[in-house]
Amino acid sequence: MKLTGVELRRVHLPLVAPFRTGLGETSVRDALLVRILTPDGEGWGECTAMTEPTYTSEYVDGAHHVLRHHLLPRLLAQPELTAEGVGPALAAVMGHPMAKCALEMGVLDAELRATGVSLADHLGAARDTVEAGVAVGLASSIPELLDTVGRYLDAGYRRVKLKIQPGWDVEPVRAVRERFGDVALHVDANGGYRPGDTQQLRRLDAFALLMIEQPFAADELAAHAELARHLHTPICLDESITSAASAAFAISTGAAAIVNIKAPRVGGYLEARRVHDVCARAGVPVWCGGMLETGLGRAANLALAALPGFTLPGDLSASDRYYRTDITPPFVLRNGYLDVPTRPGLGVDVIGDVVEACTTSVELVGSD
């Protein structure tokens, strides 16, 4: 496949409600989309970098810059391109996994559309629906939290993840357990605790949580392994896992009993599948993380989450949990499950007039 051009498009999508974590609050998604143009058809990708570099070092303006000035020139210089070849073609540029993921996703979409294969089949999906989970941000009060969790459970979500931080952990978890009984519950700290907080984290053992996600900073692998020796609750790593190699190492040290896989954090869906394979060989369950994706990223995440090792519900919710109007037809909850797209490529089409209406900038970068 020859790449003839790539469109970089920024879209402004207000969230239905602000999403607050220990890293900050998001009320609008300033998403960066790529449209891959080839003589055989087009493909779409999404860069999930956030407005500020608070989750990882990537952020949307930086991703836009690295795509425009460093990644696209290398990709456009390839005489022939395959999705497998995107990673190697961009390897000279260090880091920037979310920007690289967007390009690989777009090329995968174009290539699979041209060959009539769905991304789910291409990755090796084992199911056609995926259990939906929901991530609940930090709330301003326990009653507000209980109200939000109650609405999601009424909607049919099968697993609830609560954001925690020092000062907002045991009491909200206790309140949710008391009100909602044995609902599948897990907590996510986004690295907000320090190794000295072990005694406080041990108090969470009383609530039969599925897992505690990323209690310490991304590079604190030894501290996570040490914490695991003092907790009954399994430790899941998110920010620490940046590749299949880092997943293998984290598992070997005892730092991770469960892994959250986010394709954008590991540089693409093909590396995400390799993370899945490493975890499956080690008997470590995985689940699919989310970053408030539009329908494009959601479609790709559903394909990934259909792989056999994804045995826990992920942060994959229906479109209306995020956006009043999405740029693709909405994903809807059916008895607590979401359908895995089956059509070729990502299996979803952007809605032209919706995308135009929320576009804040667009630039076409050509091959000459």
Question: Site for ligand NPG (CB under 6 A): how many residues?
Answer: 13
**Residue number with CB closer to ligand NPG (314 or 347):** 314
For residue 204, which of 195, 196, 213 has the smallest C-alpha distance?
A: 213
**Residue number with CB closer to ligand NPG (43 or 314):** 314
**Residue number with CB closer to ligand NPG (38 or 190):** 190
Instruction: Please give the distance of CA 334 from its chain centroid, rounded to a whole number.
Output: 21
Q: How far is the CB of 356 from ligand NPG (least distance, A)?
A: 24
Please say whether the beta carbons of 294 and 346 come within 8 A: no
Stretch near ligand NPG under the rule CB under 6 A, chosen from 39-47, 191-199, 287-295, 343-351: 287-295
Give dist(CA 208, CA 244) in Å, integer.
29
What character string, x for contact with ligand NPG (CB under 6 A) and - otherwise, covers 11-30?
Answer: ----------x---------
Stretch near ligand NPG under the rule CB under 6 A, chosen from 164-172, 192-200, 289-297, 303-311: 289-297
3-class secondary-structure state, position 291: coil
Query: Which strand (E) or helix (H) includes residue 277?
Result: helix 269-282
**Is 352 exposed, middle or buried (CB count within 10 Å of its CB: 0-12, 13-18, 19+)?**
exposed
**Residue number with CB closer to ligand NPG (109 or 238):** 238
Does 304 contact ligand NPG by CB under 6 A? no
What character string, x for contact with ligand NPG (CB under 6 A) and - otherwise, covers 49-68?
Answer: -x----x-------------
Does 106 contact ligand NPG by CB under 6 A? no
Token pair for 281: 């060989």
Please say whether the beta carbons of 355 and 201 come within 8 A: no
Does 291 contact ligand NPG by CB under 6 A? yes
Hey, what's the torsion of the CAs at 239, 244, 245, 250, to 10 degrees? 50
- Rounded to 5°, the CA angle 336-341-346 comes to 135
Q: How far is the CB of 233 from ligand NPG (least distance, A)?
A: 18
Instruction: Determine the angle formed by the axes of helices 97-115 and 83-90, rounding to 10 degrees.
Output: 160
**Residue number with CB closer to ligand NPG (42 or 239):** 239
100 tagged catalytic: no
Q: Considering only residues 38, 190, 240, 328, which one is a binding residue for ligand NPG as defined by CB under 6 A?
A: 190
Q: Considering only residues 246, 317, 319, 328, which one is a binding residue for ligand NPG as defined by CB under 6 A?
A: 317
3-class secondary-structure state, position 225: helix
Q: Considering only residues 45, 289, 295, 309, which one is a binding residue for ligand NPG as defined by CB under 6 A?
A: 289
Q: How far is the CB of 365 from ligand NPG (least distance, A)?
A: 26
Please say whether the beta carbons of 135 and 161 come within 8 A: yes
**Residue number with CB closer to ligand NPG (104 or 188):** 188
For residue 204, which of 165, 160, 250 has the smallest C-alpha distance?
A: 165
| 100-127 exposure pattern, b = at least 16 Cβ within 10 A, e = fewer | bbbbbbbbbbbbbbbeeebbbbbbebee
Q: Considering only residues 125, 218, 292, 346, which one is a binding residue for ligand NPG as defined by CB under 6 A?
A: 292
Q: How far is the CB of 343 from ligand NPG (least distance, A)?
A: 23
How far separated are the first and last CA of the chain, in Å rounded?
17
For residue 9, which of 37, 168, 24, 17 has the smallest C-alpha distance?
A: 37
Q: How far is the CB of 113 from ligand NPG (least distance, A)?
A: 25
Catalytically active residues, by annotation: 163, 262
The residues that touch ligand NPG, with contacts defined as CB under 6 A, are 21, 50, 55, 135, 188, 190, 238, 289-292, 315, 317
